[in-house]
Structure 1
């Protein structure tokens, strides 16, 4: 069964309100489908030591954490999120017949600390992009590195800046519609680039089959793979691989997302936090 606790750190948890906007329909946008299963399977393959622990930064409703925990044979997964609404949905994801061993933690991924280490820390579905400054993104990567055991892996999936910019075809604003498999459903997105800070604003309109619609907005900071690599190196991690998706497709600049993996060297000193981040 899922459990929830607050972090032992005294740091303030800054909730940007994402969960309040998308409460009740987030899983319509990001369904628990074959795509989630593929992601969970690949993460389980990348895990060097399931018994050492697993942490997801930005666990949301558990779309990846729950199937991953099951793929790992019930080894517990800790899910970090700053949204109480998302964590409430995660708690409801398990059932009596097949409880999900996911520990839900209300915390800020930039400052989260734990006495427990992990063999795998992952941050997917563009959670890293939700941090809006290079320093915030760097801090989150450093936190992940500090949690890892020597030989552990950090995995990031996030928006690919060159592809997002190219999709606007030289314009600052564009709109597009994505039909979903269920008849009468789809997502219309109004997209705006704010290049002075590498920011990307999206206003989403969800159309449901019963004729109703919902509106939610997102603000992200776009990064290149090289920029994330630099964060990782500063945190003492070594870049290992880069792909366009969870199927292992080779990365290209026109890929909408990228998946990068990093390893913590076996000889790493774990007595202090990396890159000047206190333990």
Structure 2
């Protein structure tokens, strides 16, 4: 199955106000795949996530599926069914195009279902062996209560013994990048000729908020997109997970398995939901 659906079409059980979208897809949809490439590193990410799945036949759930950079290789290479939630219609349109491209390249169908939903309130009737929220999606939620809600919703969907994986930017690294200033800028060259990303970064007066305006350059053409996110610490994510009843398993700095240090730009933390007798009884009904 390769579909993108509204969340009430797959028995999510959600009722209430319309899905809130921060506009990320409108800002970056036209060049998102140029910045976050579907390359060997994305495939490596998918392989590591597959290794953390219990391989018990259960599906995987992604919070912030985007255009399928991780969900598609995870489903294709690991043979998993992946449900991907995103609040952005533009990103889900990109996912649909990616799935069509998979078929066009002769790779056949992959079991990825995109769902228009809000990760702060998402629920459905299923249990997942793996739930993951990567590429700093958690930091797009702008206060601790919202971040806690997302982690709690993810934990609720985990099967007993299942794994939650969170990857986001380290607050410490962002602060160090600014070197005590409120504003800074930096340029990241990309492998393709005449391409790169110029970022103007601003620490806002509100506690731990960070605005980044990006200019993407490629062959003499530039595109602009801005995002607002929350500088999130390792300790905060650990606290969210503990509040949701999860236990930490491991932490690393990247998908190569590099050890995490205070200077690492990103952190990837893996948690598990302990198996309990009560959980077994509930899943049997």
Q: Which TM-score band applies after superposition, normalised by the shorter structure? A: over 0.9
Say which SS state the counterpart of residue 181 (structure 1) adopts: coil
Long gaps (5+) in structure 1: 272-279
Residue matched to 1:157: 167
User: 4+ residue stretches of structure 1 with deviation over 6 A?
Assistant: none
Residue matched to 1:78: 83
Q: Deviations over 1:179-207 (max 9, x none)?
A: 11111111100001125320110000011
Residue matched to 1:47: 53
Deviation of the 1:170 alpha carbon: 1.2
Superposed, 1:54-93 pairs within 5 Å as 54-73=60-79, 75-93=80-98
Deviation of the 1:10 alpha carbon: 1.7
- Which of 18, 32, 36 is equivalent to 1:30? 36
Change (3 A) 1:50 1:189: farther
Superposed, 1:1-279 pairs within 5 Å as 1-8=1-8, 9-11=14-16, 12-49=18-55, 51-73=57-79, 75-94=80-99, 95-96=102-103, 97-98=106-107, 99-194=109-204, 196-209=206-219, 211-267=220-276, 269-270=278-279
Any conservation in 2 of the 1:53–1:118 contact (CA below 8 Å)? Answer: yes
Q: Distance in 1 between matches of 2:205 and 2:2?
A: 41
Change (3 A) 1:217 1:6: same
Q: Deviations over 1:75-121 (max 9, x none)?
A: 21000000011111111112332223210000000101100110000
Say which SS state the counterpart of residue 259 (structure 2) adopts: coil
Q: Distance in 1 between matches of 2:47 and 2:246?
A: 23
Any conservation in 2 of the 1:50–1:72 contact (CA below 8 Å)? Answer: no
Scaled by the length of structure 1, the TM-score of the pair is: 0.93
Residue matched to 1:277: none
Say which SS state the counterpart of residue 7 (structure 2) adopts: coil
Q: Distance in 2 between matches of 1:258 and 1:72?
A: 24
Q: Distance in 2 between matches of 1:199 and 1:92?
A: 33
Long gaps (5+) in structure 2: 9-13, 281-285
Change (3 A) 1:166 1:195: farther
Say which SS state the counterpart of residue 70 (structure 1) adopts: helix
Say which SS state the counterpart of residue 214 (structure 2) adopts: strand
Say which SS state the counterpart of residue 113 (structure 2) adopts: strand
Q: Deviations over 1:211-240 (max 9, x none)?
A: 111000011101111110000000000011
Any conservation in 2 of the 1:7–1:113 contact (CA below 8 Å)? Answer: no
